[in-house]
Each structure stands twice: as structure tokens, then as C-alpha cells.
Structure 1
Amino acid sequence: MHNKILIVDDDPNIREVLHVLLRSEGYEVTEAENGEMALDCVFHKGTYDIVILDIMMPDMDGIEVCHRIREKSNVPVLFLTAKSQDRDKVEAYTMGGDDFLVKPFSQTELLMKVKSLIRRRSEYDQPKSAENNGQEALAENVFVDVRTRSVRKNDSRINLTDKEFDILRYFMEHKGEVVKNKDLYENVWGEPYMSSAGNTIMVHILNLRKKLEDDVRKPKIIKTVWGKGYRIE
């Protein structure tokens, strides 16, 4: 079965380039020229393995589109944009984006990011071994099931993005250890660590705390080890 990709960009030339490139790699591709069409595709016309989403679009920009997608779906979102400032990346990640690529982009880098996001998602969709079955408690009211990639708090399901869950799982695999930014980024994002990546990590940790912690100002699950990194007890 071919992986399905939704391309969302108001520029028909960009859509055509991406369509041809991705089709040549065996992906099944759908196009949307604006935010409304994108939401209609995601919510009503099929299931996608990844959404490639432009930020700078008229009427409804990519940030708003991603925010609305995240209300109902955890499909990986790769932002594609001409904006390159760190604050723009922070905003994109805050709204639930999984990765970020700045125009003009290399075809090789785009394909690497697409394959990485799809591979990471498919790995967790495979049946897990018996020892991974069942839930693990992170707090009295927070439980994680690695097998189904689900999190529950106070008996209600918490919707995490793929990236947020990958971060949480990495912490769980290193429970009790201090996880440094460099190790977290290179293992979860699969890319060399640069100093600017610290802001990206910080935003994702904040998003996780908002969803998991009872009091974000006094986190009991994901704790900051000042000057070193983060730790789950």
C-alpha cells in the first residue's frame, strides 16, 4: 500500500514540483490550494500519512490550519515556508507541527524529512512485543500505553502529536537519567544538534507539560535539571 501525502500550498508551481517529486518516490499524492480545502481533505476525504503544509497562505494560514487539524487528528505535519526566523519555528511547533523546512529547499532534504516522519509513525503502528503491552504510570492520574501510543489523564485521552509522543517515550526509556538537549534532539529528530534547536525542544516540552501536568509552573512529571537537561523520575 502506498503512503498518502497531502500537499497544501497556494502556489501551483510548488504543488506541481512536490507532486512530481513525491509521485516519483511511489507516494500517493493529493493537493489542496488553501486551508479550507486542506481541512476538508483531512476530515472528510481520506486518511493521510503526512501533511506538507505551507505557512504563508491567504485567508487561512498554515498555522491556523495545523491548529484546527490538531483538534481532531495527529497526522504528522511538515511545515514548508519561506519564513526562517526562530520565532516563526516556535510558533509552528507550538501549534502542533512535527518538522520544518525553509524554502528554497533541497529535494534530498525534503524526501529525508518525509521518509523520517512516515517511518517513525509506521514503526509505532506495528505490533509490539509482550513486555511492552499495558500501561505505565507517570503520575497518579497519568498513564502511557507505548503499544497503542496513547496517553490518558484522569481517565480521559490526551492527544499528543507524533513528535510529542516520541519525546515522551525517549524520556521514559531513560527514566531517572538526565536527558541532555543534544541527545534528545539527535535521537528524536534524527538530525545533528545546533544551538537553535534548544528553542524547538523548549516549545515541545512546554506543550507536553500543558497536556500532562496539573500545574505547568510546578511540573512533577517532566522536571528541568538546570544547566543539564530534563528528567522523568
Structure 2
Amino acid sequence: MFARKEKRILVVDDEAAIRMLLSELLSEAGYSVNEAENGMNAWELLKKTDKYDLFILDVNMPQMDGITLCRFIMRDFPDMKGRFLFLTANITEDVFFFLKENDCKYIAKPFKMVDLLGQISVMLAQKEPSVVSAGAGKMQGQDRRVEERFLWLGDCRIFKDKIYDATPLSAKIQDISASGITVRYTGKPLAAGNSVTIHIIGLNLRTDAHIVWSKTMNEIETTAGLQFMEPISIPSAISGSRGINP
């Protein structure tokens, strides 16, 4: 029986927030995810670990860009051809022809997470034996039920224990959906399960939520996922123009 959780994806991007965002979303979708901050680190990681089923790459990165990494992998691991998915806001003619000639896929930024998950399902299904690929349509349908989430870099205030006159925690929004939000802030992790009130400044909205998860990114910053007690409406200014936009 095909177990999607066994599929391993390597996310390569020089922005820590983007790596963490994609890692969280893909893990929630049932994939095993590793991260690398540039092509050089990804190359060293690949040589030390087992092969990956899919690579999600940024094009422009320091030390080694995504195209160079792709060339190296196809040279030394030719069986991995067709396992590369690039995320890019601007694609040059040279990059376009490279992707076309080497059977690489790409998704233009901004994009929606459901589209990314759908593309991943298609690419992985193409690498499976025919007896497994028969279930790809069902699997992709499951992915497309994932809620749309949008990268929106706004500000918010979090009131612990829902006390409005207490000093709030200031945070930066990383992504938002109708039912939840991911934030980044300076401080210790919030306790999972606790109830809070969140004030989303750009939407002039206060709503109750609870902490789903919280973990430190480094010695200073922490990222947390909050679920709203009641779904909110996503303004067209966000949903109409921006999907997940690393």
C-alpha cells in the first residue's frame, strides 16, 4: 500500500521563514521534509543522506543557486531527473529553456498552497509504478481540500489569557487563512492549547484563538501557529492577489 508519509522532500531556500512555512505545510500534508538554506548546503546534505523523492528549489540563492544545484544532482544522480520543482517570481529566458530541456517543473510566485500540493502529487505519482499511480487522483483530491493560505506580512498583537488591558505580545504575520494564522515574534514559545485574543492590525480585527504549536527558530525569534475560534473572512485584497508567496 502506498504511504505518502514515506515520500521525502528537500526544501531549498535562503529565507528561513519560507523554509519553515513550507516545511510546516508539507509536513501537515503527510510528507517527510528536510531543509537547506542554499544549494551548497543541499548538495552536502544529499551526499550524506538517502535520496529524496522531490526537490523544491528557489532559483536565486547565495553560494549555489537552484539551477546549479539541479545540474550537479542530475550529473551525479541521473535517476533523479524529473524530481525538481522550482518556485520563482521572475523567470528569465535562459532559466525557462533549462527547465524545459531538463523536465523540471516550476510554479510562479505568488501561488496557492493547494496548487503546490497538487503539483507535488502529480510529480510523485509520475515516479510511481502504474499500480500505485492508479490512486494518484484520489490522493490529489485529498490535497486539494487543504485550506488556502496566503502569505501576508502584516502586524498583530496577541493578548494572553484574553486580557485586553495587559501588555500584548507584538508579532509579525507570516501567513493567514480563514481559520488560522502563523506569526513570528521575539520571545519564548507560547504554550500550546492556551487561549488568546489576537488583534490583526491591518484588518482592524480582534478575534479569539488558541495556540496550536510554537517553536523557536533561533536564540531570539519564535514562530507560532494559532487557530481562530471562529473562521474569519479573508479580504479580496489578500485572497485576490496573493497566494503563498515565498
TM-score by length of 2: 0.47
Highest Rg: 1 or 2?
Answer: 2
Higher strand share: 2
Higher helix share: 1
